[in-house]
Amino acid sequence: MSETTPTESGPLSTAVYVGIFLLFFFILAIFGDLFTFIVGTIGLIIAFAGFYKDSSHSDGHHH
């Protein structure tokens, strides 16, 4: 068997995160009822905001 070394991948661009967020948002809008849409949108915002906060703090761009 040949050995493969794992490649280190960099962080995704902001456009990718926005695209994924919009995809999940439209899935909620199309397939969910009103309650699911509202609760799911709130959960989606909290999840993406928390992930963005975690990844932005590890970038080292802040003072």
**57 pLDDT more than 80:** no
Question: What is the DSSP secondary structure assignment for residue 59, as one 8-state letter?
Answer: T
- Higher per-residue pLDDT: 11 or 18: 18
**52 pLDDT more than 60:** yes
Residues 27 and 46 sit within 8 Å (Cβ to Cβ): no
Q: Give the pLDDT score at 26.
A: 95
Mean pLDDT of 6-29: 85
